[in-house]
Amino acid sequence: QVQLVESGGGLVQTGGSLRLSCAASGLTFSRYVVGWFRQVPGKEREFVGCIRWISALTYYADYADSVKGRFTISRETAKNTVYLQMNSLKSEDTAVYYCTVGSRLTTNSLEYDYWGQGTQVTVSS
């Protein structure tokens, strides 16, 4: 059974940083595309970034324009955990953040297969 568990959310001031974690059981991240999305109440789930590792040092990644240069996806293979490092946080980054896995590098949430339960990030100004 596949399970994704996010953690690391919390309250941070504008300009601060947070690192979200997504730990997987039942699958190995290196075989999938890993995506991060976020959602605020009343709005659709929004693409944040996604990544596919080709090798230990080679990958394809895509990020939303709104987070490009501030957010970075990485992994710790031994722990089968993926991270979303978020720097220079803004109030508009406030949302519930979800990790997800799929087979295609895509910004479309409908094309991902498994989802975590989400973790709340609140950026205060």
* Strand extents, DSSP E, the chain: 3-7, 10-13, 18-25, 33-39, 46-53, 59-63, 71-76, 81-86, 95-102, 112-115, 119-124
């293979």: which residue's tokens?
77
Q: Please give the C-alpha separations between residue 93 and each of 28, 52, 85, in angstroms, as whole numbers.
A: 28, 24, 13
Nearest by Cα to 101 from 39, 63, 52: 52
Q: How would you write the pLDDT of the chain (125 residues) with one tens digit per residue? A: 999 999 999 999 999 999 999 999 999 998 899 999 999 999 999 999 999 999 888 899 999 999 999 999 999 999 999 999 999 999 999 999 999 999 999 999 999 999 999 999 999 98
pLDDT of residue 56: 81
Q: Which residues contact 67 (CB under 8 A, 6 or more apart)?
A: 48, 49, 86, 93
Amino acid at 49: G
